[in-house]
A = this chain, B = another copy of it.
Amino acid sequence: MAATREKTPAKRADAQRSIEAILDAAVRCLSRNPDASVSEIAKAAGVGRVTVYGHFPNRADLVDAALRRAVEEGHAGLDAVDLDGDPREALARLIDSSWQLVSQSRLLLIAAQDVLPPGRIRELHAGPAERIERLVERGRDEGVFRVDLPTSWLVGVMHSVMHGAADEINAGRLTQDKAAGYIGATLLAAFAPPAELAGK
């Protein structure tokens, strides 16, 4: 209750600013290159390498903090999306406003995978993942999404296609503006109940 921001009993405004900058830079660097060194991150943050070690005991903790920040930022941004109504349209909305975010976190996730214990990552992803799973489940209940494949698989396909789109953009074979449409068209078709079962 005492401190709205953090649990630390006392932290100078100067330090807060540095930590902010470091975390910000860490997310940026690690999203570009999962093997980014502490020196790189420090330079990108506009601080000395030693300063980084002053706030984070080691590289692993820094990566953890960066991932945590990226996840909660994304989570907050997605809260605005309306997930009610036709699940298909809701899915399209969700894709439209989140696919880029998810694909950017991909490299950062790889960075985390090299350093963090396995359980930690799944722990941080529990929140956002649940949101999508609920939407898919609802679509299945309403009969607009297929039930012959597990929900977890469908969610996985969603991730894969988004990441694939990011790769295509990186490779210059796809433009940013077309991506969302392609992803939506692909996933809606993949999620739809198979024709054979619809007729029966």
Chain A interface residues (CB < 8 Å from chain B): 146, 148-149, 152-153, 156-157, 159-161, 163-165, 167-168, 173-174, 182, 185-187, 189-190, 192, 194-195
Contacts and interface: CB of A to CB of B under 8 A. Distances in A.
Interface centre among A152, A182, A189, A194 (most CB of B within 10 A): A189
Copies of the polypeptide in the assembly: 2
Contact of A189 (B159, B165, B174, B192): B192
A130 B192 CA distance: 29
A147 to B, nearest CB: 12
Contacts of A152: 168, 173-174
B186 A194 contact: no
A148 B189 CA distance: 12
